[in-house]
Amino acid sequence: MRTAAFLTRDATGNYGFAHRSFMEFFVARRLARGLLDGSAPEVTISKEIQGFINQLLAGPLARGLLDGSAPEMTINEEIRGFIYQMLEGRMPEYEAVEAPEDMVYVPPGPFIMGAKDVEGGTRIARLEEGFFIGRYSVTNAEYRRFVEAGGYEEREYWSDEGWQRKQREKWTEPRYWRNSKWNQPDQPVVGVSWYEAVAYARWAGGRLPTEVEWEKAARGIDGRQYPWGDGSDPSRCNTGESGIGKTTPVGKYSLDGDSPYGVADMAGNVWEWCADWYDKDKTYKVLRGGSWDNSQRNARCIARHWDYPRLRYNLAGFRCARGSL
């Protein structure tokens, strides 16, 4: 009989798993299916197995099913079917795509978006086409090239309203451009309005990501709370709990804080402007990701913020995207 590396055989010839985690995985997988179809037996679930189920059932959905709060959550047939696909390993596979320098490819397809405590609740969102997103927020060094190339004088990069605002306010550089606390080359540029972010992105051959794109890039498909998984951790991002009191160099937390796609700083450091309007009246623009001055809760992948597109403050920056909207 052939054996696999994860099996062992005892003195009596019986086979078993080399590591308990293998057994727990299969037990958790079966229990997860049972929880979905109502056939799960009444058993005592260890913390380890519950952890596996949490992963298999995609974060917030799992917690709701396991802790009895599921009735308060909207788990429709679409989400139920999506979870089954995850359990069965039947999610679509996509060919590897070569990304431009300092950008990451995010494939098309469905993912779990939102949460029960935000507008819209938990739902399945779909990206019809893949896109590229900046691995890092735009830095001061990168933005400097835009300034020095005459980006503030070139009408073609600016929206109509943005150009009028820039002319009226006499903008020639970011608000904190000459402040050493915020202007180090590897820090994310701050003190830029939504209009300036759009102008830079156009100059660089890109655009701002949509809110849906941003969230998928931050959390992947499985509904996790943070880019690294479930559970806050001040050692993985720059938020108010870190006590740093300013922005940190981009990528500082990449070792443990990147998203499933390898995108850095999607939690904390700076709020990031997105392309979308926040409200139907088109007064405010969406910001995502939290900042150095916000709590970990506000740095969750689902946290939403809004502000006037003209505002320029030290909590907000942006990153670029390319590809189909």
- The token duo for 114 is 């939102």
pLDDT tens digits, 218-244: 999 999 999 999 999 999 999 999 999
pLDDT at 161 over 60: yes
Cβ burial, residue 11 (10 Å; 0-12/13-18/19+): exposed
| Residue 22: predicted pLDDT | 46
To the nearest whole number, what is the mean pLDDT of the chain?
82
231, 282, 228, 289: which is closest to 257 by C-alpha?
228
Rounded to whole angstroms, how far apart are CA atoms 289 and 93?
Answer: 28
Cβ neighbour number for residue 24 with a 10 Å cutoff: 18
| The predicted structure's pLDDT at residue 10 | 56
Question: CB under 8 Å to 24, separation ≥6 — which residues?
Answer: 46, 48, 49, 52
Cβ within 8 Å of residue 209, ≥6 positions away: 131, 133, 217, 274, 275, 319, 320, 321
* Neighbour tally for 41: CB within 10 Å: 7
The string of DSSP letters for 131-184 reads EEEESSPPBHHHHHHHHHTTTTT-GGGS-HHHHHHHHHHT--S-TTTT-TTT--
The proportion of the chain whose per-residue pLDDT surpasses 70, expressed as a percent, equals 70
Give the pLDDT confidence of 21-46 residue by residue, as tens digits: 444 455 555 555 554 555 545 444 44
pLDDT digits (tens, 9 = 90+) for 251-280: 999 989 999 999 999 999 999 999 999 999
The answer to whether 65 and 35 have CB atoms below 8 angstroms apart is yes
What confidence score (pLDDT) does residue 227 get? 98
Q: How far apart are CA 305 and CA 290, in angstroms?
A: 8
Give pLDDT, residue 117: 77
Determine contact, residues 252/200, Cβ cutoff 8 Å. Answer: no
- What is the value of pTM for the model shown? 0.74
Neighbours of 148 (CB within 10 A): 8
Region 178-196: mean pLDDT is 99
The whole-angstrom separation of Cα 182 and Cα 126 is: 37
CA angle 67, 233, 213 (to 5 degrees): 80
Taking the CA atoms of residue 144, residue 149, residue 152 and residue 157 in that order, the dihedral angle to the nearest 10 degrees is -110
List phi, psi (to 5°) of 27: -65, -45
Tell me the pLDDT band of 153, cut-offs 50, 70 and 90: very high
Q: In the structure, what pLDDT confidence band is assigned to residue 19 with cuts at 50, 70 and 90?
A: very low
Radius of gyration of the chain (CA): 23
Going by pLDDT thresholds of 50, 70 and 90, the confidence category of residue 100 is confident
Residue spans of the domains in the chain: they are 7-88, 94-325
Pick the CATH number of 94-325 from 3.40.50.620, 3.90.1580.10, 3.30.230.10, 3.90.1150.10: 3.90.1580.10
161 vs 147: CA distance, rounded Å = 19
Strands 304-307 and 131-134, sheet pairing: unpaired
Question: Of 96-100, 154-158, 168-172, which range is least confident?
Answer: 96-100
